[in-house]
Chains A and B, each alone.
Chain A
Amino acid sequence: MRRSLTLYGLTFSLPLLIWQLLFFVFPLVFLVALSFWTVKNFRMQADLDTVNWATMYGRSVFWQAYGTTLAMASAASVLVSILAFPCSYAIAFKLSETARRWAIFLMVIPFFTSYLVRVYSWQIFLSDAGIINVMLGWIGLGPFGLLNTVGATIVGYLTLTYPLVVLLQLFSLVFIDRTLIEAAHNLRCGRLRTVFAVIIPSARVGLVIAALFAFILSFGDFVSPIYLGGGDPTTLSILITDTTKSGQQWPRAAVIALTMIATLLFVAFVAVRFAYKGRSK
């Protein structure tokens, strides 16, 4: 390993650094500056005014949206973690090597399908004359108003996060030392107790990180709350798109975005602390 800076080394390392500084770091920093700008006569002006922060934080609709988004994203990440765990557990411990490889391949496919198309497809299932209501009609039930509900939004969040959470949980599960499980069995630990006393603690880091990703994705998603949840209750992501796309109130949108980033950083910090708690490495 050579330490000195060479033209050769810089040719490979600098381009990405420059690109991400110019087009990733600077835009985010600019967002901070933008939140202090003012809008007069529909034109933005460079300024150092806290009016946007005061306006946004003074609005009850903002705090309502904040509470809603936080609650729904938390609910989604807990729910998806619980729903995904038996699946990733079964893939990790109950399938043959070949079957497991296929399962992983199948779980990767959704990442390369359009999320929009899948959300539209859920509309086909959930609408008043949709597939689910027609099927319920066959046994004399319904129709129920499934679309434009919080439940539909959660279905959208699950669509977005389930494959990722299964994969992340799976990767932490397959790396568990199997002698630990064997030891538990030899000590006559029941299978359910083995799961809760041995497997979950061993895979804690991966499970928490998976839940964290589910939270981040749901927290920022604007497609499900609009097209499955009907835009009501409003989430922060909807507020951002509305504020940005209708008019020149970008500074206010920046306030929302920065609040979201602060929240995500805080949640990520707490989650990582919790994940590595008691590990002295």
Chain B
Amino acid sequence: MSDSSANMNRSRLVDLSLKIYIILGFAFVFAPIAASFVFSFNSDRFPSIPLGHFSLEWYEAVASDPFAWQGLRNTLFVGVIVGIVSTGLGFGAAYTDFRYRFFGKQIYLALALLPPTIPVVILGLAMLAYLSRINLSGNSLSVIIAHVVICAPFAMAIIRLRLSQMDPDLEAAAWNLGASEWAAMRHVIIPFTKPAILGALFITMAVSFDEFAIAWFVSGLNETLPVKVLGFLQGQVSPRINAIGTFVFVTSMTLVILAQILLTGRSAKVRPVADEQE
């Protein structure tokens, strides 16, 4: 940084070793991800080095497994609905926090943000026991319900962040110009938060795609793809996990990068546009 560039405390050797340390940290984080990618194209039954030859057999094995397709359909079905519902709920909560002050708001916000901090085994057990009590357990609906609980907070956080960039007077200005609350919502708030809404949609879908523990507890026979992977792990060790993992990784990353483009790429542009709209 500039403040220390001319400083006597600065030593090139220390800086260099710190930068190498960053790279080592990334190596640790990305080693398993990269290995999974590489070995998904490797022919050996028991993955290790030296590598065997290039092969798509694990992708073929997964593609010819009807249960994997069933799992993928469940995952997509659950993910899309979870994305839409939790983004809707999260938007409402973010707007509530943005606009209103009321008694018990702290508790409201705690409810809106706490669920992801509860360990998934505990949440899984609680959901399983509760949902089977009210006869909602063992199907895709139960996975959707449980996933919305943990995904809505993410949507809320993303949309709240966007709203905090907005001048609260904009909405008041719309009211003064004769817009009803609903019209102001439609023409001011929603256009302004649109990138965050889409971002939240993709992020919550991505979270749902990867969530396996709660889904494993409550899904019964309608397994999602990550729950299938857990099944593979429990059974014989199989490089199919790598194939599924790589596929899920590419899907999730596509969603995340889309969200990223929407959240950062547009936010620079949206500001003046939103101002012009007034």
Interface residues, chain A, with chain B CB atoms under 8 Å away: 1-3, 6, 8-9, 11-17, 19-21, 23-28, 30-31, 34, 83-84, 86-87, 89-91, 93-95, 103, 105-110, 112-125, 127, 129-131, 134-135, 158-159, 162-163, 166, 178, 181-182, 185, 190-191, 194, 213, 216-217, 219-223, 227, 237, 240-241, 244, 250, 253-254, 257, 260-261, 264
Contact of B111 with A30 in the complex, beta carbons under 8 Å: no
Cβ-based interface call for B193 (8 A): no
Interface residues of B in 111-165 (CB under 8 A from A): 111-112, 114-115, 117-131, 133, 145-146, 148-149, 152, 156
Cα–Cα distance between A227 and B15 once the two chains are bound (Å): 38
Of the stretches B23-31, B53-61, B265-273, the one at the interface is B23-31
Contact of A16 with B35 in the complex, beta carbons under 8 Å: no
Instruction: Convert B36-77 into 0s and 1s, putting 1 for each residue whose CB lies closer than 8 angstroms to a CB of A.
Output: 100100000011111000000000000000000000000000
Number of residues of chain B lying within 8 A (CB) of chain A? 93
A-B contact count (CB 8 A): 260
Q: Given the complex, which residues of B lie within 8 Å of A254, measured CB to CB? A: 125, 129
Chain B at the A interface: mostly helix, strand, loop or mixed? helix
Chain B residue, CB-CB nearest to A14: B92
Cα–Cα distance between A13 and B73 once the two chains are bound (Å): 32
Contact of A86 with B21 in the complex, beta carbons under 8 Å: yes
Interface residues of B in 1-23 (CB under 8 A from A): 1, 3-4, 7-11, 14-15, 18-19, 21-22
Contact of B152 with A19 in the complex, beta carbons under 8 Å: yes
Q: Given the complex, which residues of B lie within 8 Å of A95, measured CB to CB? A: 19, 22
Q: Given the complex, which residues of A lie within 8 Å of B91, measured CB to CB? A: 12
Chain A at the B interface: mostly helix, strand, loop or mixed? helix
Cα–Cα distance between A194 and B3 once the two chains are bound (Å): 14
Cβ-based interface call for B217 (8 A): yes
Interface residues, chain B, with chain A CB atoms under 8 Å away: 1, 3-4, 7-11, 14-15, 18-19, 21-22, 25-26, 28-33, 35-36, 39, 46-50, 88-93, 95-96, 99-102, 108, 111-112, 114-115, 117-131, 133, 145-146, 148-149, 152, 156, 181-182, 185, 206, 210, 212-213, 217, 226, 229-230, 233, 237, 241-242, 244-245, 248-249, 252-253, 255-256, 260
Cα–Cα distance between A85 and B48 once the two chains are bound (Å): 32
Cα–Cα distance between A130 and B15 once the two chains are bound (Å): 34
- The answer to whether A162 and B149 touch (CB under 8 A), given A12-B95, A216-B117, A237-B121, is no
Cα–Cα distance between A264 and B152 once the two chains are bound (Å): 22
Cα–Cα distance between A152 and B124 once the two chains are bound (Å): 25
Contact of B111 with A1 in the complex, beta carbons under 8 Å: no
Cα–Cα distance between A178 and B5 once the two chains are bound (Å): 13
Q: Given the complex, which residues of B lie within 8 Å of A222, measured CB to CB? A: 121, 213
